[in-house]
């Protein structure tokens, strides 16, 4: 093993010792995966023992062992090795069956692994595996706990959009602190490359009639709306072919809304979905991700109906606006601790809530007015932002293309009341028909994403720039189905007649005991 290692690295040390860059290149040549920050830490500890910024061959061997020779691998290897140095094919087979639970493995399986992962020629020719080969096998995708067949798109992508959990981002333009940090185009690039399928664009009036994007009423920096759309145009479908939703948190004047509409149309071109698929409005169900492949959807407030928008398609409506009242829309940043509204109300009069639909009491609603440019309104097709009023109202009046945005505090109440069978049944039924998005989760809280996935919310919008448990759960969930950003819900969460509630799983549960050794 030592001779093999020496022969492999000696050419890189012919001209003398190497620095950090040379160390990285050599590790890459040896096909050793490493975390750059961890390597820098190990490298610094090594050079601190002597002056200078370069290392010898012996130093490199110590760094290599620190990165690669994990003690738990060594323990496993010695448990099956006859002499602590070599693993014959028969012993490797025993390891595969007993430790990896590959009950169908045979001598051919063991030999194939040796031929693929053993780097030392003389060991490989003897149908044996050294510790170096064992390490390479253990670090390979073959030993990943993640199912390799799920790394590709394997789910049915022809169901309505509301039948999928969708990878969603909140404050996508921020790359650090939410109050004083920089807004940056990299926020959008990074989220898109991770397979995110719903981006938030916080739009405000800028100078020279050019809308800007930033976190309103904070000290975060500003970036042009036009530049954001250019980045989205470039990276929208690089990691996933399935539809991308642009959730506009729109604070712009009608004049600058028209500039936004023009940017979306001219920059995105054919990618922008501006009319229903096939030119016909299906009021009964949303289209599927497959039908919307390579399309960008605009989520925003909308004036009138989809049919009215289609009648206006050939006309020039620049300069025309329509006023929407509080009942017609919900501001994307509305996330107070007010209880869920139960009754539709256009005036600030008190009405008693119908407690049969949901437990929380009624509070006096605030009346808001907003003007929307018809040019921007008409770009909204399947993702009209609609305020959640009550279950009864949604089930009676809501169109499939009208999406409810639910704030984090409201969502917590929904999760809390999900044990109530009637409440949960209403909510499950609602989310089987409509898109409920985007829920904004602030990662400083202890709540985890599963609380909201289990009550059937399709989109949980997270701060992608903030590491932590929530993003780890998000990354893990959306690795599934090829990392395309859409994960099909379990069948019982797609069934309108389901009796499932998180507290009453009934026959939907198949309990499992999972033991993990770290």
Reported as a single tens digit per residue, the pLDDT across 383-393 is 888 777 766 77
* pLDDT band with cut points at 50, 70 and 90 for residue 216: low
Catalytic residue among 38, 69, 184, 215: 215
Q: For the beta carbon of residue 420, count every other beta carbon within 10 angstroms.
A: 15
Q: Is pLDDT at 1 greater than 70 in this prediction?
A: no
Which residues, 6+ apart, have CB-to-CB distance to 165 below 8 Å? 453, 458, 459, 477, 478, 486, 487, 489
Q: What is the pTM of this model?
A: 0.74
Q: Is-catalytic flag, 437?
A: no
pLDDT at 237: 97
Q: State CA 308 to chain mean position distance.
A: 34
Least confident of 270-284, 300-314, 394-408: 394-408
Q: Decide if 114 contacts 77 (C-beta within 8 A).
A: no
Q: For the beta carbon of residue 282, count every other beta carbon within 10 angstroms.
A: 14
Q: Is-catalytic flag, 215?
A: yes
Catalytic residue among 170, 217, 230, 437: 170
Q: Is pLDDT at 473 greater than 80 in this prediction?
A: yes
Q: Decide if 306 contacts 276 (C-beta within 8 A).
A: yes
Q: What is the mean pLDDT of the chain?
A: 79
pLDDT at 164: 92
290 DSSP 8-state letter: T
| Interval 224-244: pLDDT, tens | 999 999 999 999 999 999 999
Q: Is pLDDT at 118 greater than 50 in this prediction?
A: yes
Which residues, 6+ apart, have CB-to-CB distance to 196 below 8 Å? 167, 168, 169, 172, 464, 485
124: β partners: none
Please give the span between the terminal C-alpha atoms of the chain, in angstroms, as a whole number. 28
**CA–CA gap between residue 351 and residue 362 (Å, rounded):** 7
| Interval 56-70: pLDDT, tens | 888 998 999 888 888
Strand 321-325 to strand 369-373: parallel, antiparallel, or no bridges (unpaired)? antiparallel
pLDDT at 232: 95
Least confident of 69-83, 93-107, 175-189: 175-189
Tally of CA atoms within 13 A in the half-sphere of 11 that contains its CB = 7
Opening angle at CA 279, ends 278 and 284, nearest 5: 80
């Amino acid at each position: 093993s030592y001779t093999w290692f020496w022969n492999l690295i000696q050419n890189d040390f012919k001209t003398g010792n190497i620095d950090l860059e040379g160390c990285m290149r050599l590790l890459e040549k040896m096909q050793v995966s490493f975390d750059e920050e961890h390597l820098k830490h190990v490298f610094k500890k090594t050079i601190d023992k002597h002056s200078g910024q370069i290392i010898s061959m012996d130093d490199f061997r110590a760094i290599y062992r620190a990165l690669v020779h994990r003690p738990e691998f060594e323990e496993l290897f010695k448990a099956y090795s006859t002499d602590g140095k070599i693993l014959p094919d028969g012993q490797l087979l025993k390891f595969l069956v007993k430790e990896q639970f590959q009950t169908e493995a045979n001598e051919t399986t063991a030999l194939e692994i040796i031929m693929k992962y053993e780097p030392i020629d003389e060991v490989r020719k003897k149908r044996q595996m050294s510790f170096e080969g064992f390490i390479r096998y253990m670090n390979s995708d073959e030993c990943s706990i993640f199912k390799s067949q799920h790394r590709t798109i394997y789910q049915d992508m022809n169901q309505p959009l509301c039948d999928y959990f969708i990878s969603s981002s909140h404050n996508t333009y921020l790359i650090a602190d939410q109050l004083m940090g920089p807004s940056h185009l990299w926020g959008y690039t990074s989220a898109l490359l991770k397979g995110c399928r719903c981006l938030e664009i916080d739009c405000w009036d800028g100078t020279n009639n050019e809308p800007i994007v930033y976190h309103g009423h904070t000290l975060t920096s500003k970036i042009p709306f036009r530049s954001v759309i250019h980045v989205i145009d470039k990276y929208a479908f690089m990691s996933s072919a399935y539809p991308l939703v642009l959730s506009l948190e729109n604070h712009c004047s009608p004049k600058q809304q028209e500039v936004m509409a023009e940017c979306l149309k001219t920059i995105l071109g054919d990618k922008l979905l501006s009319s229903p698929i096939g030119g016909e409005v299906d009021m009964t169900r949303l289209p599927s991700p497959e039908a919307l492949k390579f399309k960008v959807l605009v989520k925003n407030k909308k004036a009138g109906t989809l049919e009215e928008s289609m009648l206006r398609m050939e006309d020039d409506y620049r300069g025309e606006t329509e006023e929407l009242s509080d009942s017609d829309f919900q501001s994307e940043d509305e996330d107070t601790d007010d209880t869920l509204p139960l009754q539709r109300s256009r005036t600030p009069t008190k009405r008693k809530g119908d407690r049969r639909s949901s437990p929380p009491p009624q509070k006096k609603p605030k009346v808001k007015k907003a003007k929307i440019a018809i040019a921007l309104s008409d770009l909204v097709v399947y993702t009209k932002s609609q305020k959640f009023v009550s279950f009864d109202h949604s089930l009676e009046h809501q169109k499939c293309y009208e999406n409810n945005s639910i704030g984090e505090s409201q969502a917590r109440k929904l999760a809390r009341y999900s044990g109530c069978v009637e409440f949960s049944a209403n909510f499950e039924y609602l989310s089987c028909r409509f898109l409920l998005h985007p829920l904004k989760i602030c990662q400083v809280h202890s709540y985890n994403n599963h609380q909201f996935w289990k009550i059937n919310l399709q989109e949980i919008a997270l701060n992608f720039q903030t590491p932590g448990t929530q993003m780890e759960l998000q990354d893990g969930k959306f690795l599934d189905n090829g990392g395309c950003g859409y994960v099909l819900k379990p069948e019982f969460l797609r069934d309108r007649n389901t009796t499932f509630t998180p507290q009453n799983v009934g026959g939907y549960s198949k309990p499992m005991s999972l033991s993990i050794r770290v």
